Structures are given as structure tokens and as C-alpha cells.
Structure 1
Amino acid sequence: MAALGPCRCLRAAVACRASIRARHTHLVPSWRHSRPILVPLHQTLASSSNAFKTEDAGDANDRQYDGIVVLAGGLTASGGVPEWVKGRLEAAADLHSRSPGSVILVTGGGTPHKPPILHDRSGHVIHESTVCADYLVSELGVSPNSVLKETSSYDTIGNAYFSLTIHAAPLGWSEVCTVTSAFHMPRARACFDWIYGACASAPRVAYLPVADEGMTETALEARRRREEESAAALRRSAEEVGADLAAISGWLHSTHRCYAVNRQHEWGEPTEATKEELETY
């Protein structure tokens, strides 16, 4: 793991936009809890700008990681871990066991599509990443000293941005693996390629897609359609904003419903998500 040092992403990204090296690889490993699924590279933002180019380095089973980033995927009505998120956490725990010295970073504060789950006794908000961290420790036997969490993000773009700026860049990580469900991976990879690719000191990122299990076929198909629409919107935003971390930060905090103060009056209002789509959040 790289030595700790100050993060100079905001300044460095501006100077290196044309020379950012390809640091993203595709990971298709196997693990005991689920089956590997290949996510087509052309489904990412790689085709929209030279700044987003990636490489397919094939099977990266033997690589060692500083951080294993797990994207949260909602909570059950009782505040538990949904089946499709359990698969992500199990895959991450298995990868962690084969990568000595790595830590698992679970991301996500919640979602704009549903009200938060509150703790029965205290009334405090139960963050998705907190529930995921508890599952890793209590159910999968991962040491709490090997788990980090991030509660600032409320969508996939936020997962990428805050995992980078709160943990990966300040800690000097050089190798990261991002874990999420197969239905979510094309857009997740697009987000990470864009945002990590805009930071000169960002780590190289590999991607581990997990089988789509634990949701109804109707809900899964609805979510896949939504993912395609969201990926198209992301591509337009990325092309407009560019591969500049300072510009991305400005865009995120001035226009995004989840993070912009000038849109915080919209928080809590119904979103456009359908009933079937809401089953997957």
C-alpha cells in the first residue's frame, strides 16, 4: 500500500487530463458464493472520450488490493441486507481473504427513492453502509479493523466520488476492486472510470460483477431498463463536464438532486422510480 500523503487530486487532475494513463482493468474471478459474470467493456463510458479508455487485462484473481469497494444496494423493510447485496458482501469477503492487508470499504448512506429506515430504540437513521459493515463483521467473520464505511453517497455517482475523495486518495491506495451486482455494473463502472480517471493519484480499479440473485424477474428487468436510461444520462453529463475532478465536484454539488443545496427542497419528494424498480432499492 502506498505511503500516506496529502491528496492533490483537484490541482493535479486539471494538469493531467490529456495524459491520464489507463488504470482500469476488468476482473472476472471465481468465488465460492456466486458465479462470475462478464460485463461487456463497451457498456461503459470508455467509448465516449479518450479520458475514459480502459483495458481488459483478463482474469486478475491473483492481484492484491488495498481497497475492495462494495456498493450498497438498499435495505429490507426491517433494515436488513437484501439478498442481492449479501452476494456482493460475500464476494468481497472472499476476495479480502485472498488479498492480505486489504480493507473492505462499504459505501452508501441511503437512497433518494425511499425514506430512511430508523433505529427502533434511538430513532437514528440506519445507513446502508452501516448495515453492510455489520453483516461483514457479524455474519461473515471479517475483522472490524478491516472494514471502512462511507455514508455521504446516495447514488452510484456519489459512491465513486466519495469513495475516492474520502478514502482511496487520502489513503494512497494503488489497487482497488469495485464489487456490485451484474445489473448495476455497467453504470457503476462508467461512474468509477469517469471519476477515478479524473484524479491523477487515483488507484487502478478492477471490477467484480456478482450474479443477479434475490429479486423477482419483473423487478430485475425493470431495474435493467432504468440502468440503461441512467447510463445514457451519465454519459451526457460526463461528456459535458469532462475528466476534471474540480469540474466534477462543482457539477455534483451544484446540479445533483442528492448533493446540491439549491435542490435540497426536492429531498423527500417522490422520484420517478416505478413500483417494480423500488423493489431493487
Structure 2
Amino acid sequence: MQLRPIAFRPAGLVHLCSQVRRPARTLSQVIVAQKSAKKPKRSYEAVIVLGGGLLPDGGLPKAVQERLDLACSLAELPAHQTAAHTHCPIVCLGSGTPHKPAVLTHTGHVLHEATACTEYLAEQGVPRLQLYRETASYDTIGNAYFCCTMHAIPAGWRQCAVITSAFHMPRTQSIFRHCFSVAGQSLWGQPDHFQLDFWPVSDGDAFPEDVLEARLQREAQSLKDWEKNAEGLTTLAELHQWLHATHLCYSVTRQAQFGTRAANDALRSKAIASY
């Protein structure tokens, strides 16, 4: 597929949200500097936002808030309004991570990352019917696979924006490109059936420098590991089989390893702080 990343300039947009629990505002009360923002190359049928962890109290890290702020801005652009004059869907991805215990709500239920993200958006005035969740995934590969099979394919969304932080974008691009291309080829005989644009949000001061450096090193290694595996995944069926037969987060044969210390030994302690 011909998928082209679109550069994101932090100064180009006025953030719609700054604090997780501040009083909600309607989108009509927020002024977005759209003219100075980098313009999309196509109209989007969905804006996809990858999760990036939760704070111990269930709040969202600054890096995740900034992803959601950008999603608000993109979905609000008139070019992405449907014939019914509603804004395009925003899809928040992610259940959690195998690297940290789940955050529980006051009722004792698991708080999924996607749920926290959609709640954040709703508090800013985004209509709840405009928001979608994907709560099956625990990593970036799962983000792409379940987003594609759970939402994009049945909904018929072909032109989508994908948002994540800059440190996470190289691996995100590779994984989403491959998963969506394989799905397009397997189902329609067209590897370019889906048109994705990638919007990286500046890392800025999202993490301390040493934490960011540790995460960048892990991202580089994880990208190499993924690209090696992806070489043998040429159909949607092969991707499905590989994911559920071998992946730590999804294989029943490995579910006893999920969240164990042994599974996290390879992850430097500083990098864990970025999840």
C-alpha cells in the first residue's frame, strides 16, 4: 500500500484537552487553529487512536492526552464530516498491557485503556455515538489486527487516520501497513484497499529523557522482531493463526506467562515506565 505519514507540528493545533478530570467543554466552545495545522491528504472515514497506558488512578498520561487532542481536531475538520453532517468516528484502541497490572474501577472492574480514552473524549463534548472502542488488544500488533477485523472491515472504513506518539510511530506504521494490506489482499485481492495516513504526536516532555531513551531502544528491537515475523504472514488467515498460536498476549498455550516476571525480564525497568 502507498501509505504516507503526515508530519504533525505541535504548534499547529490548539489542544482541546489538558487535564483528565477538568470540567467538560463542548467542541463548539473550543477554537482549533485548523488553518495552521498540517492538512490531511484525504477525507477520513475514521480516526484511530492507539492507547498508551494508564496512571495508577486511572488517569491518562500526557502523551495519551495529546494523541486524543489531535484526534478531536482531525474529527472536527469539516472535510471529514459525513453526508449526515456528523463528524467521523474516533476509534480508541487497547485493553491494557502485559507489563503492568490492570487498573480497577471503584466497582472492582477492569478499566480498559480504550474506555478511559473514550471517556476523556466524551468529557470534552465529543458525542458518545461518535466514539468506538477496541478492548481485545494488549499490544500494537493486537491494536492493528483487532481494529481492522472488529471495526474497519465490518464498518467499511477504508480511509483512516492513525494517531500515536512519535517514539511509537515507526513500529505502528510497519504493523498497521502490514495488517491492513494483508486484509485487503485476502478479502478483496487489493493490498491497497485501505488507505491509511499516520499522524505522529511530538514526544515533547511526555517522559523523562532516560525513560524515553530506554523506550526508543525497545521500540527499535521490537520493530526488528516484528518485521522478521511479518515476512511469513502473507494472508489474513496466517496472521490470525500466528497471533493466536504464538503471541504471548493472545495464545492460550502461553496465557500462563502473561504478566509474569519472566515475561518482563527483557524489558528494562526504565522502559516499563513508558507503558
Is residue 2:144 matched to residue 1:153? no
Q: Is the 8 A contact 2:8 2:201 kept in 1?
A: no
Q: Is the 8 A contact 2:46 2:159 kept in 1?
A: yes
**Could you tell me which residue of structure 2 aligns to residue 225 of structure 1?**
217
Tell me if structure 1 keeps the 8 A contact 2:114–2:133. yes
**Cα distance in 2 for residues equivalent to 1:275 and 1:78:** 20
Aligned to 1:38: none
Residues 44 and 159 of structure 2 are in contact (CA less than 8 Å); yes or no, is this contact kept in structure 1?
yes
Between Structure 1 and Structure 2, how many residues are aligned?
Answer: 233
CA distance in 2, matches of 1:134, 1:67: 18
Q: Does 1:280 find its partner at 2:266?
A: no
Contact 2:181 2:194 in 1 (8 A): no
Provide the residue aligned with 2:104 in structure 1: 118
* Superposition misfits of 4+ residues, deviation over 3 angstroms: none
1:49-74 per-position Cα deviation (integer Å, ceiling 9, x unaligned): xxxxxxxxxx7525211111100000
Structure 2 unaligned spans of 5+: 16-37, 83-87
Question: How far apart are residue 244 of structure 1 and its match?
Answer: 1.0
- The residue number in structure 2 matching 1:32 is 13
The aligned counterpart of 2:81 is 100
In structure 2, the partner of 1:75 is 54
* Residue matched to 1:4: none
In structure 1, list runs of 5 or more residues that go unmatched.
Answer: 1-21, 35-58
Conservation of the 8 A alpha-carbon contact between 2:59 and 2:116: yes
Q: Is the 8 A contact 1:106 1:150 kept in 2?
A: yes
* Cα deviation digits, residues 90-128 of structure 1 (max 9, x gap): 0011000012131000000000000000112x1000000
Return the letter of the residue paired with 1:174.
R
Report if aligned partners of 1:74, 1:81 keep a CA contact under 8 Å in 2: yes
SS class of match (2:151) = helix
Amino acid at match of 1:32: L
Larger RCO, structure (CA 8 Å, separation 6 or more): 1
Aligned counterparts of 2:8 and 2:60: Cα–Cα separation in 1: 23
Among candidates 238, 254, 259, match of residue 268 of structure 1? 259
Report the alpha carbon displacement of residue 273 of structure 1 after superposing the two structures with TM: 1.8
Say if 2:238 is the partner of 1:252. no
Where do 1:186-201 residues align within 5 Å?
A: 186-200=170-184, 201=188
Alignment of 1:30-69 (within 5 A): 30=9, 31-33=12-14, 61=40, 63-69=42-48
Deviates more, 1:271-280 or 1:66-75: 271-280
**Does structure 1 retain, via aligned residues, the 8 Å contact 2:75–2:89?**
yes
Q: Percent identity?
A: 38
